[in-house]
Structure 1
Amino acid sequence: MVLEAWRRIEQKEIAPIYLVYGTEAFLINQTKNLILNQMLTEEEKDFNFAVYDLEETPIEVAVEDAETFPFLGERKVIFLHSPTFLTAEKAKEKVDHNLKRFEAYLQQPAPYTVMVISAPYEKLDERKKITKELKRKAEVIEAKKLNEFELKKWIKDQAISRGLEIDDRAIEQLLTLVGTNMFMIVSELDKITLYAADEKRIDVNLVEKLVAKSLEQNIFTLIEKVVQRRLDEALRIYYDLLKQNEEPIKILALLAGQFRLIYQVKELSRRGYGQQQIAGFLKTHPFRVKLALGQAAKFTDEELMKLMALLADADYQMKTGGMNKSLLIEMLLFGMKK
């Protein structure tokens, strides 16, 4: 697990080669920064740190650098980005890589170099010899999206690292308002920290006071108001979004996406799928599935089918008709009211 790998790195248990792969960009960046800061001082980074884009540079150039002794220091760090040769992608390579040279380096890596291969892909091609060899010789860190339990624990750890406690309700509300984007979560925690420095505690009231709602969360709340037959409050949220210069077509797309998710999770849940299974099937975060399941329970199948038809008609009218787009969504919201 990536969090366990971070602890080893913090304890300076550093491997000579790392393979960091997955689609969670935050975890990839954090891993690279952690290794770099553990290995080199700010002064050493100027001389003993290099980055290679393997879509532009042959792998043997990076290997030659890795085998070269550090300058004015004892260690060096090399980052290798975009190793498409580890995937099954058929994209045309801009450069030819001498993979045999790389394989030879894997057998006997330079003891003074830490090489980090960053592969931002969901899957690697396990059939390829180079992929198998790299996985055997490197410390492999899978930067996959954290599940709900891991994400909540990570948020708690982030608060502790800032000298703060955060209660469970505050974590839940933070995820509800911000979503599961780790970059955004860190940004909001940094903001909250400035206000919570004296109390040393983050509670749900502080989160609600300081964390701005994302557009997606505003859409989620708008749907909640429709469900509760509070059309005036739903319209108020919509008018606020217009004041924030949000485009009606984007609002419509998010409404359609959320209702599509609600319909899908309702159907999959009826078929006996669990939250994690649904998340994997729909390729979305389990926390989003959890929220959608809560909303799905408030709609009958007939109501959802009617709403999907209204959304499809509104999309058609917005793209082909001459009606005012803002007014079109107003009419849609009136039509959604039970």
Structure 2
Amino acid sequence: MDEIVKIINDIKVGNIKPIYFLMGEESYYIDKLTEYLEDNLLTEDEKGFNQMVLYGRDTTIEDIVSNAKRYPMMAERQVIIVKEAQDLSRTIDKIEAYVNNPQPTTVLVFAYKYGKVDKRKKWIKSIAKNHILFESEKLKDFKVADWIKRVLQGRGFSIEPKAAIMLQEFLGNDLSRIANELSKLEIILPKGSTITPDHIEQNIGISKDFNVYELRKAVGEKNHHKAFQILNYFHQNPKSIPKVLLIGQLFGYFSNLLKYHGLKDKTQGNVASALGIHPFFVDEYRIAAANFPMKKVSTVINKLKVVDGMSKGVGASNLEDIELYKEFLISVM
């Protein structure tokens, strides 16, 4: 993110602010920025007396302010880092007085994860104007594969599109989890390697042939044999995908297919933008649209709702989930 690069570059040239308030649903960038501030604002010799790490659940705003108002010892500044600051959400507004009159020789860092403070509050506006307010938003699902590609390029690796999609499908948009899995691959593979679906399967445990992406593709192509193979794999390996996620993925897929039918401009870029998908998937939707006309897609969506309800015990059914899903596929394919 350009904002992160700017914050780091400013620190490198000595443009350091008294307050850094890092907040948002996506913890990955908050953790990375906090780690950078913790490692780089003071020398190792200075950290012993002038760097303090507090945790929201174990401290109070009063204690934080009291520590922040101290003077550094034999150093230009001191650093106070408040991790898990979201645990102070009920009392965080008490920081307003300090925000309006911060100690110039203190750098106060708040890592406020999995949520955010109302930006209409006066003290947040003041931080945004005079200090650093960083908001970390969750990455859209269809942007995750490109994020994986950029991260790996920066580390001297490349990745095949299907391999990136496999990671995104399995791990969602949790960047911290994805980054951890990428780190494992970087240890195993020599620098300069291109990460393939085989690497993902062998080292992370995500099947390259039996996953929800391949199921959607098989259904869209009306490939009965492949679709039933994948369902049987899910049944035999229940941890490979939760049933709620399976239904949700199919529902999302056919909902997007309905949108695809309604598009006048079916060029790759417009389809990807309108459906919120990676361009890699556009051909898949084109093929599926030929196999499932708009009226048929509406029927499929209604049947999916029925199957979802029956799998949760709504309506009379003595069938196991696997049999429900198979009956659904038979009826729509």
TM-score by length of 1: 0.74
The residue aligned with 1:325 is 321
The answer to whether the Cα contact below 8 Å between 1:22 and 1:142 also exists between their aligned partners in 2 is: yes
Contact 1:21/1:142 (8 A) holds in 2: yes
* C-alpha contact (below 8 Å) 1:311/1:332 kept by paired residues: yes
**1:37 aligns with one of 39, 44, 58:** 39
1:214 & 1:84 partners in 2: Cα distance? 42
Aligned residue number for residue 103 of structure 2: 109
State how far apart, in whole Å, the 2-side matches of 1:11 and 1:278 are.
40
User: Cα–Cα, structure 1 residues 323 and 45, in superposed 2: closer, same or farther, change >3 Å?
Assistant: farther
Residue of structure 1 in register with 2:167 after alignment: 178
The corresponding residue for 2:218 is 225
1:50 paired to 2:53: yes
Report matched runs for 1:1-338 at 5 Å: 1-5=2-6, 7-8=8-9, 11=12, 13=14, 14-40=16-42, 48-53=51-56, 57-70=59-72, 75-79=78-82, 81-82=85-86, 93=90, 95=91, 97-105=93-101, 108-111=102-105, 113-120=106-113, 124-146=117-139, 152=146, 155-161=149-155, 164-166=156-158, 170=159, 172-179=161-168, 180-197=173-190, 200-204=192-196, 207=199, 210=202, 211-213=204-206, 218-246=211-239, 250-251=242-243, 253-268=244-259, 270=262, 278=274, 286=276, 288=277, 290=279, 294-297=283-286, 298-299=288-289, 300-320=293-313, 321-337=317-333
Shift of the 183–268 alpha-carbon distance from structure 1 to 2, 3 Å rule, reads same
**Structure 1 unmatched ranges of 5 or more:** 86-92, 280-285
Of all paired residues, the percent bearing the same amino acid is 17
Cα shift readout 1:50-93 (whole Å, capped 9, x = no counterpart): 2242x7754232121111134676532322612876xxxxxxx3
Letter in 2 for 1:117: F
Q: Deviations over 1:166-196 (max 9, x none)?
A: 2xxx253333011143223322322222332
2:192 maps to a residue whose letter is K
Contact 1:265–1:292 at 8 Å: present in 2 too?
A: no
| Counterpart-to-counterpart distance in 1, 2:240 and 2:167 | 20
Amino acid corresponding to residue 253 of structure 2 in structure 1: I
Contact 1:18 1:116 in 2 (8 A): yes
**Cα deviation, residue 292, structure 1:** 6.2
Instruction: For residue 323 of structure 1, give the secondary structure of its aligned residue in structure 2.
Output: coil
Tell me if the contact between 2:161 and 2:280 (Cα under 8 Å) persists in the aligned partners: no
Structure 1's 100 and 9: CA in aligned 2 closer, same or farther, altered over 3 A? Answer: closer
CA contact (8 A) 1:266 1:293 kept: no
Provide the alpha-carbon RMSD of the alignment: 3.7
Q: Deviations over 1:125-168 (max 9, x none)?
A: 3432122112112123232245777973664344543xx332xx
Q: Secondary structure at the match of 1:109?
A: coil
In structure 2, the gaps of 5 or more residues are none
Is the 8 Å Cα contact of residues 20 and 109 (structure 2) preserved in structure 1? yes
Cα contact 1:224–1:295 (8 A) shared by 2: yes
